[in-house]
Structure 1
Amino acid sequence: MEPYYQSTRQNGKSLTAKEAVLQGISPDGGLFVWPKLGCEKLDLETVCQSDYRGIARMVFGRLMSGYSPAEIDDCVSHAYGNTFASEEITPLRSVGDIEVLELFHGPTSAFKDVALTILPWFLSKALVDSDKKALILTATSGDTGKATMSGFEDVDHTGICVFYPDGKVSAIQHRQMASQTGSNVEVFAVKGNFDDAQSMVKKLFLDEDLKKTLAKEGIVLSSANSINIGRLIPQIVYYFDAYRQMVAKGKIQLGDPVAFSVPTGNFGDVLAGYYASLLGLPVKKFYVASNANNVLSDFLEKGVYDRRRPFIQTISPSMDILISSNLERLLYYASGKDTEKVAGWMKDLAEKGVYTLDEKTFKTISELFEGGWYDDEALSRTIAEVYKETGYVLDPHSAAAYALAKKSDVPVVALSTASPYKFTQDVLAALGAEEKDPWKAMTKLSELCDQPVPENLAKLENAPILFDLSIEADEMKDNVIRAAGEIFA
């Protein structure tokens, strides 16, 4: 069954995965989905007899239409050959009575690496067919920006513009982005929060004047956020691989149901798990862990998505989000693929800041998803307790997933989405060892947990700042045009 992609907001033209990867977002503002997802399942026994790379080939072979088996094999080999510090790519660790899936062994020490090491290869093969150049626009709450730039640095026929909320990322995240090298990179701090940057990026994708201006130079806009299926689909793989590791460790038997607890902001990470369940992974429950920006927890409790609330800056900045874009894809499937309903909800969100699900859709979501949220004090307490009991150090995002995982009545995997070294000062404060200097904090944390600082983070201290421009959200378009001219000169 050949997977063709359509918008969440209308049953319009069907695209191959190659075409959807290149476009990033649908012209009507919707996200690309495969209507037939769930009609075919992966063979779980075959999955559990494979390795990470083999599972990736299975998933991509099923979902990435337009890519030949040889192209998929080439993408997998380049992305997962020797770019991760762990041979297992995403190893599973037993921490107390919870299994922790470590997703931070890639080149930027965050879970985004798993997808953003392969997206450039997907995109480059799509570009060969189109004979165009791609300008990647990405809004980031902290991790996506660096992982995108790392993956796309100096890749032929591509340019990258990254926008992050000024003053609202960790010191390490800021240095990672501001010191990024590469001739095809531009980085901008945007005054406001992540939602301001993300909303403007979406508007730019729909800006006909901008697209026409770039088209004159053979440039198309694309995205590296999880709104792009080329970013989302690779994340499915580690859910299947986590299950494989659970079976291999004797934690479960083949076919047993499991649960996943996922730190969540833009909803892409947990949505990938949902996609895995539609492909046959036996999941009883997804626990959606949030911080004090608890819009998702309220939504999963009441069926009302209401972003009309104060934005709170927390110690878990990658979850400091009030508009969870990928939730739209879940609404599409949970509503029975009712594009009219989805378009209506998204219109209400844009115009009123709130929408309410019908009873049937809410019931469908509630059967599989459960939310929970933790403020900074609770996250710090979890970090301290887990360290005291097990000697294991969690970052503030992973702490939310770990705490919520305790609710599960079946074997559960908590996703650890970032190295604690990306948030050393807040982690140290939770452990009662405060340090204001971020670089001294790394050394102190290393002494506490008896683990070396990841090399990619250790060298940041002396990395020169290359980007220090702070702009208003309404200045993003002009800066995109300028950057495109310089990158593709």
Structure 2
Amino acid sequence: MQNKYTSTRNDKVAIDAKAAIYKGFSDDKGLFVLPNLKDIKINIDNLQTQSYGEIAYQILKVLLPDFSAEEIKASIQGAYHDSFDDDKITPLKKVADFHILELFHGPTSAFKDVGLQMLPQLMNRVINDEERVMILTATSGDTGTAALKGFKDINNVGISVFYPENGVSNIQEKQMYTTFGKNTNVTAISGNFDDAQTNVKKLFNDETLKQAIGKNVSLSSANSINIGRLIPQIVYYFDAYKQLLQNGDIKNGQKVNFTVPTGNFGNVLAGYYAKLMGLPINKLIIACNQNNVIADFFNHGVYDRNRDFIKTLAPSMDIQISSNFERLLYYKSNGNADYVKSIMQNLETTGRMQVEPDILASIKDDFYCNYCSDEDIKKEIRTVFDQYGYLMDPHTAVGYKVMREYQKSDDQHLNILLSTASPYKFIQAVSKALGLSGGSSDQESIQNIHAKTGFPIPTNIENLWKQTSQRPSHIAVKDMKKYVENNVKELWK
């Protein structure tokens, strides 16, 4: 079983990393995990002298052991050589008494680019000339754009993206409809993100769909349920620590805190993987918006999604079913697949699950969690800009609020706040927070924000209005299967 991936719900599964990336999602509805992850350590003694790519190589070669050294090096080169606007890929900025890890320097100005520039590179080295893969992706905004960009015109791969109607920002929607890949499809659904994600998962195990698309076409995922998307995100935790060492902010071995705005739990789970692999992390601080299912879980060990779905100023976090939480439960239950299967089935059938007290206590050892209201989002964007001259997007503002709450009980550890997107992707919320009157167009609003703050406008966003945009499409949730079937036939039949 060592160096083989298994399912969170079935420890009899044992497949290579390439197969796990190819499938994306286990047949038993579980997620692929590496059982011996805690035994795999990254040497941090030489971090200071290593580039981002060299750190990525160290991590990928041990977590993707059936990829050759040449395949991993070529994937890293293809993913990061010229697609990010900063040579550091994820630069760390000191702001007052904390640091911000900027994860928005990729081609779509969101943290999803780090994983979704890499996943297509890995996928390209998994499939052969006779195989075809249709990527199915649910998005609350940023994953869709990054996935469409990453998989655009990749041979033998198609992608179908589903997002909630009126559930993403105008900029996010415009980015998705200006991709124009020969193999890309995107549509809104009449529901929320959880509806999109739940039904995408169902499609992976829909036998009638598999028969309709044919044996030579497989379904896979670009969401962080795919380990090929999740693993690259571990890298920037180690690289952030490297930058702290290089700047003389910490000594080697000194523990730090990371605060992570959280929706589907993939970003913060990558931090937990980094901790298991030897990175000196004190606490991973989970920051939720008003869809605070996980924050409530921390109070009493009950995960209950039977509540109203709230549309907030941080739409990429408008999620109540955090898929990657299942992977955390797997590790915190010491790899008890039967236990994970049981409680996840409870969640799927009743909308509720409860963990054992010892598991909750173990989670609290590594994590802290709280949430932030829309009013506080606007307040914190304005406060941080007025006091420190730094402009945050709404999701980063959620993180800032929760980070400051945690600091009341821990003023000993240095704090790194993950900034997950450019503020220019959420111009209406940022404009209101800064007290700016709305522009007559999104383009004018962007210029108004820039005039007030001087914060750089990403080139990809500035160029959006120079591109032709497709007309947005919309389907009912019940039509998602037919949509995928039609996309496959159009692309390959």
Structure 1: how far apart are the matches of 2:257 and 2:41? 19
1:427 corresponds to: 430
Structure 2: how far apart are the matches of 1:46 and 1:374? 38
- Can you list the C-alpha shifts for 1:17-48, whole angstroms capped at 9, x where unaligned? 10000000000000000000011211011233
Q: What amino acid maps onto 1:166 in structure 2?
A: E
Stretches of 4+ moved more than 6 A in 1? Answer: none
Q: What amino acid maps onto 1:45 in structure 2?
A: D
2:355 corresponds to: 357
Structure 2: how far apart are the matches of 1:464 and 1:315? 27
| Conservation of the 8 A alpha-carbon contact between 2:134 and 2:220 | yes
For 1:23-422, list aligned pairs within 5 A.
23-128=23-128, 131-216=130-215, 218-406=216-404, 407-408=406-407, 409=410, 410-422=413-425
Shift of 1:428: 1.1
Shift of 1:232: 0.2
| Conservation of the 8 A alpha-carbon contact between 2:101 and 2:418 | yes
| Conservation of the 8 A alpha-carbon contact between 2:391 and 2:455 | no
Structure 2: how far apart are the matches of 1:63 and 1:40? 8
TM superposition score normalised by structure 2: 0.97
- Of residues 466, 469, 478, the one that matches 1:465 is 469
Structure 2: how far apart are the matches of 1:3 and 1:300? 32
Shift of 1:249: 1.2
Shift of 1:226: 0.0
- Can you list the C-alpha shifts for 1:382-436, whole angstroms capped at 9, x where unaligned? 0000000011100000111122222243101000000000001110110100315
- Size of the aligned set, in residue pairs, is 487
- Can you list the C-alpha shifts for 1:276-303, whole angstroms capped at 9, x where unaligned? 0010001110110011111111112221
Q: What amino acid maps onto 2:286 in structure 1?
A: V
The range that moved more, 293-302 or 108-117, is: 293-302
SS of the residue 2:39 aligns to = coil
| Conservation of the 8 A alpha-carbon contact between 1:292 and 1:314 | yes
Shift of 1:467: 4.3
Give the gaps of 5 or more residues in structure 2.
none
SS of the residue 2:71 aligns to = helix
Structure 1: how far apart are the matches of 2:403 and 2:53? 27
- Can you list the C-alpha shifts for 1:135-159, whole angstroms capped at 9, x where unaligned? 0000000000000010110011100
Structure 2: how far apart are the matches of 1:4 and 1:479? 34
Structure 2: how far apart are the matches of 1:182 and 1:486? 13
- Can you list the C-alpha shifts for 1:432-470, whole angstroms capped at 9, x where unaligned? 003152111110111122133211111212433314221
> Is 2:443 the counterpart of 1:439?
yes
The range that moved more, 238-247 or 432-441, is: 432-441
Shift of 1:131: 3.5
Structure 1: how far apart are the matches of 2:476 and 2:12? 35
Give the gaps of 5 or more residues in structure 1.
none
Shift of 1:364: 0.6
Shift of 1:2: 5.3
Structure 1: how far apart are the matches of 2:487 and 2:470? 15
Structure 2: how far apart are the matches of 1:375 and 1:91? 28
Structure 2: how far apart are the matches of 1:183 and 1:78? 20
Q: What amino acid maps onto 2:138 in structure 1?
A: A
Shift of 1:66: 1.4
Structure 2: how far apart are the matches of 1:97 and 1:166? 39
2:482 corresponds to: 478
Alignment RMSD: 1.2
Shift of 1:354: 0.5
Structure 1: how far apart are the matches of 2:450 and 2:492? 42
2:460 corresponds to: 456
| Conservation of the 8 A alpha-carbon contact between 2:2 and 2:36 | no
SS of the residue 1:109 aligns to = coil
SS of the residue 2:463 aligns to = helix
SS of the residue 1:147 aligns to = helix
| Conservation of the 8 A alpha-carbon contact between 2:289 and 2:373 | yes
| Conservation of the 8 A alpha-carbon contact between 2:2 and 2:35 | no
Shift of 1:12: 1.9
Structure 1: how far apart are the matches of 2:243 and 2:367? 23
SS of the residue 2:127 aligns to = helix
